[in-house]
Amino acid sequence: MSKRSRGNHAPEFKAKVALAAVRNEDTLAALAKRFDLHPG
């Protein structure tokens, strides 16, 4: 079983996700799905 390395996201991507969350564009689960992230 191989160990997956953790991915690092660019600051631009983090800012885009954070702005979408702050603007209440969608639920956290929907935002996670849209940005291909884990909802936790």
CA distance 2 to 37: 21
- pTM beyond 0.75: the answer is no
Largest CA distance in the chain: 40
pLDDT of residue 2: 63
3-state helix, strand, coil in the chain (%, to 5): 50, 0, 50
Question: pLDDT digits over 21-40, tens only?
Answer: 999 988 999 999 999 998 88
Q: Which residue has the tokens 């564009």?
A: 25
Q: Is the dihedral of CA 17, 20, 23, 28 positive or negative?
A: negative
The whole-number pLDDT of residue 1 equals: 56
